[in-house]
Every structure is written in C-alpha cells, then in structure tokens.
Structure 1
Amino acid sequence: MEPRRALVTTAGAEISSLEWWPTEETGSTVLLLHGGGADSAELSWAEVGPALAAAGHRVIAPDHPGFGRSPRAEWPLTQERLVRYVGEFADAVGLTDYVIGGLSLGGGMTLGHLLERPGRARGAMLLGCYGLMPRLADGFLGGLTHFTTFLLLRTGALSAMTRRYMRNRTAMERGLQDLVRNPTARTPELIDAVLAEAASGTGTAVFGEWQHDQVLWNRLRTDYADQLALIRTPTLFVHGDHDSGVPIARIRCAAERMPHATLLPVPDAGHWVQRDRPDMVVPAMLAHLRRIDDAPTTRPE
C-alpha cells in the first residue's frame, strides 16, 4: 500500500506528511511521530502504516521540521516548541478523534502532547520513549557519561563525529546492530535508506540543535516522570529489552505511574523496536487500537 504525501502548513513550519488510507475507515485515525537523527516518517513507519491501514485506520505520519522532506522551521528546535507543533499539526489536519504514537524523540513529543492537551487523544502508543530519565545514562558512570556528552555537544565534537559516522557505511552497519538487533530486519536496503537520509536531509543537524538544548551539564532539560500520574489516556508502552539508550527499568516505572498504561517488553530488541520486531510490535499496536475503539468514547478528565 503506497502512502499519499501532503504538505501541511503550521505556524512557522511547512510539514511534509505521509498518509495511509484504508479501503474502509472502521477504526481511529492514528498520528505517528518518528524519532530523531537520520529518521523520517517513511523510515520509521513504512511497515507500520500499511498494516494499520489494512485494519481500517487512517494513518498520518509527518516529517518533523527539518527531517525527511520537511524544511527547517522558522523557530528553534526545542522540546517545548516541538510539543506545540504536534498540537498545531493535529489542528491543521483536523484531528478531533485520534490515537497518537511516537518513537524515541517522537515518544517524548507524544508525552508532551498528552500533558499539554489532556483528553484530546483517545489513546497513545510509546515506543523506545524519550523523556523519562533525569540524564542520558543510569548506573555508576551515568553522571560521567552525561557530562562527557555535554562537553562533546558544547565543543562541536559530537556533531563532527556524527557527520563522519553518517557517511561511513561500515560504521553505520555497526551502529545499527545496536538499534536493530534482528539481523534479518537490518537489511542492506535499510542501511542504504538511513545513509541516504543522512546525506540528503538536515535531520542530523536539527537533531543536534535539539540535543544542545536538552543536554544540560548535569541533567536533561525534559523529564516527564513526575507528571505521568496526570496522564489518564490509555497508553501502550512498547520497549525493547535490549534498548541501550533507554533502560527498560525506566519504562516499567513509567507504566506503573500512569493510571491506564500497559507495557509490552519486546525480547532481544533494541531501540528501533518496530523495525527490529514488527512481528510483535504491529500486532500489539493493533490490539491496543481495538481496545480503544471498543471502549466508550468519553474522554478521561
């Protein structure tokens, strides 16, 4: 199933968006938000979108400003502004009855949207979710790891290292082994697509701007953990149990804090969990959507 591409105008940003339309629309519309770095709507949701549409859901997946085919926004790429953009995009495409989901950065944007507009979405799906840790790493050396990353960002060294990494196929193949642990899912086509996105787009550059804003010397600027009890939206967490960036223990705690949340740990999967194990992730998303569609339509207070 080929998606349609549309151009959506929001405040200070022109957004290129993919849409998968079902033959018969029988379920909730789904808004999907991709992750950071060399990512895009097509890279993250090319397998998920058609599967959800085949089950009766209209699926909308924007390229965030500066990612994929969307040009840079007129505004700086901060977490707060990205969260506001999600609401502006939903308004621009006329979403009033929808489920929202996101991967990594997109998961953090989803959490921010649920807090900024409580009760607006009928449900949520969070994959490899950002925004649930006080710093970049846990453990004994977590503080040192975080501070080192802060220094690399502030000196520009991390940006230079990222550019070299994104141009080197061998390095990319090694790096993707951590994100997509399943070797059958880590195809040459996927590697080519990520390299092409890194070479042609501005995603890695604008993601670096976002990182520069988020990574303070001793903590992350955004940590939604203490606000999770306020989110009463039915939420599914899907998380690889070998996600090296976001420990699954953090996600277990997050799911326990939210009144209507469930967690699906995906065995032997990494951070790009829907790419790693679509055989588990897509059915779980579909089951969550069925539960939402079968439930009363009254929004939580």
Structure 2
Amino acid sequence: MSTEPDTSEVYLNGEFIPLGEACVPVMDRGFLFGDGVYELIPVYGGRPFRLSQHMERLDNSLGSVRMENPLQLDAWERIFARLTGSIPDIDQLLYLQVTRGVDRTRNHLFPQGGEPTVFVMAWTAEPRDPDISGKGIAAVVLEDNRWHRCDIKATALLGNVLLRQAAQDAGAAEAILVRDGLVTEGSSTNPFVVQDGEILTPPASNRLLRGITRDLVLELARGVDMPCAERHITRDELETADELWISSSSREVQPVTLLDGKPVGEGVPGALWRRIDDLFQDYKAHL
C-alpha cells in the first residue's frame, strides 16, 4: 500500500518539474488508448528493489507492444536517484510509465516517427500494518474477465480497477481471480496457496503478470528447501487451502485469512507465511 505522491518534482520527457505542473497533451496515446506500459519499483534504504528484474520486465512489456526502451539503464538510474535521493532512509515507491506518445489524430494505427512519453515519480510507501501480520486480510473470488495478455504490464487497467473495486464493495482487500475454473492472479497481486505443506502458485503465462515479488517468494522458499511448485490451481484447491497469500511490489507478502466470508485454514496467518515473511524482511535488510 502507498500514500499519495509527495515528491516536489517528477520527471517528464527529459525534465524535472513540480508535480503540479506536469501535464501531457490530450492527444497522447496513453490518455486516448491506454497505449503504454509501466513499472512500480519499491525503494528500500534508497536502493531500488530488484531493479534488474523490474527493468527486464519493462523491456518485455515494451517489446510485447512493439515499442523500444527510450532510455539506457544508466539514464533510468540517474532519474531514480534524483527522485528518491532527498529521503533515502524512508521506504518509497517509484512509478515509471512509457506511452507511445502524441499523435496528430485519434487513430488506432501506430503513429509514424513519434516520440514516446516518459514519466517517472516517487512517493513515500506506507509502513507495514501490524494488523495484517496479526489478523491477515479478506479476499473474494471473482471471475477473471480481463483481456488475454495479462503478462504485459500495460497502463490500460480498467478491468483490474473494476475487479479491485468489486472486492472493496464486498468488504475485502483483494479479489482472487478465476478463469475456466483455474486461479490466475489477484486484481493487483499474485496468489499463493499452501496445501499439505507445499507452496503453490499459478505458472507464468499470458493469463497473469509474473510478479517480481512472486518470483522472489519462490526463490526464498527454494533457498531453504521449502516445498513449492508453479502449477495450475483449481477453485476447489483455492477454497480448501491451508494458507492463502498474496504478493506484490507495494504489498510485499500478505496472508489472506478470510475468503468469501469463510476462514482460510485456521483463520489466522499461518506458520509458512510467517516463515516466508521473515525471509522476505531479512532479504530487504541485507540489500
């Protein structure tokens, strides 16, 4: 979770300017079509978290929508350092967005010779909520009705927005999505199910965004020989899980203790989640 952006400046198309002065033309394809991609990167102790993995995913998303990365890695790093450098001891979140840029007319076809729009901002992350560690969160199961290229971290997030709002309206913190009877992801997270001591998460595919935190959870589990697997998870397995977690860059790894109004397992954060959370916090502390 995060607070409102509180930075005094942002980066937009080669300039650092005050947030309140940052504007893009109405003919920008990001505004008209959601024709762009983005990344959200946690910053701990002034250091972007898993930066190489985030930038690799950015390249993958750009390639999938037939765009090139407009900046070299060292240029991105200089931007990140300036935007986060004023408060290096406070956890932050970096948001970067690249759209296909401005066109002369509203045309579905790609513009010829256009320049991409590049936008970056940073803000202070919310501190860990002790209630979540003690009680967990509630989630609901909803049908995954989004498009079939969820592996692209695209700015066109209306489907995710509607699903997250539906969860909120139902008194839950997240929606766990199911397509064709199989779990895909959350509205803005990756899910993990624990069955008989094994940690399970859906395999990477076009049906879900392969989260950076998701991959780290698997890496940490395998590093201490905790049984885990990437495989399809049925709705029945979801609803009968011993433990259920969600992960994302802004929420880290959170335990779900209530699903569709029913307790998950014993209805409290489980022992395996606590082990993974300890490993995750230790990993952060030794960046």
Bucket of the pairwise TM-score, normalised by the shorter protein:
under 0.3
| Structure with the bigger percentage of helix | 1
TM-score (norm 1): 0.24
**Structure with the largest fraction of strand:** 2
Q: Of the two, which has the highest radius of gyration?
A: 2
